[in-house]
Amino acid sequence: RGIEPALSIDFRWLKVETRCMQFTRLAVIALRIVLVVAFLLLVLFQVMSFPGQFAHMAQENPERALLQWPLTIFSILEVACVQVVIVSTWKLLTMVKNDSIFSNHALRWVDAIVWAIAAAWTMLAVLSAAVVLNTDDPGLPLLLFLLLVAGAALGLVVVVLRALLRQATDLRTDMEAVI
């Protein structure tokens, strides 16, 4: 009773760490399911929905027939940018699962996300400029401006997160060198 052990180990942190790892594993699985469903839906849009919608638009409104192919190509390229983000996110999730996320290889996948967002934003900016120059109704230009602001915010958040990943990668590399 009067003798205390020289070394006391508190295992409560281990339980918290185990719960956190289990939650992360479940979150990765759930996100992968969402990514697969989103990717498949985007392929459906690329192959069937957008081309069919714009062909129908050209038939119904012959004065807008010239827009069929530019809008089809724009839509397919925008969706392709989202698909690049999905594939890159999948790769990053694999790195999280394998505990290799803090590496220069991960930064390449984040760079792919940044460039895909930048490409999508640039294409949307060009479309928005064309719409603003050719419309009388302020509703659509305002909606496109809102999308541009949201896209810029998303891109900037990813750039900041990339910087945080770079710092964490450098810290982990330094720690591994010391150990």
- Whether 106 has a pLDDT exceeding 60, the answer reads yes
Report the C-alpha gap between 127 and 24 in whole angstroms. Answer: 39
- Whether 131 has a pLDDT exceeding 60, the answer reads yes
Residue 33: predicted pLDDT: 97
Q: Which residues contact 109 (CB under 8 A, 6 or more apart)?
A: 88, 91, 92, 95
CA distances from 115 to 51, 135, 158 (A): 25, 30, 10
Calculate mean pLDDT across residues 8-34.
76
CB 83 within 8 A of CB 113: no
Whether the model pTM is above 0.75: yes
CB 100 within 8 A of CB 106: yes
Residue in the structure block whose two tokens are 């998303």: 154
Tens-digit pLDDT profile for residues 22-63: 888 899 999 999 999 999 999 999 999 999 999 999 999 999
Which amino acid makes up residue 85? Answer: V
Tens-digit pLDDT profile for residues 155-170: 999 999 999 999 999 9
Angle, nearest 10°, between helix axes 50-60 and 68-97? 160
Question: Cα dihedral sign for 104, 116, 47, 39?
Answer: positive
Report the C-alpha gap between 154 and 149 in whole angstroms. Answer: 9
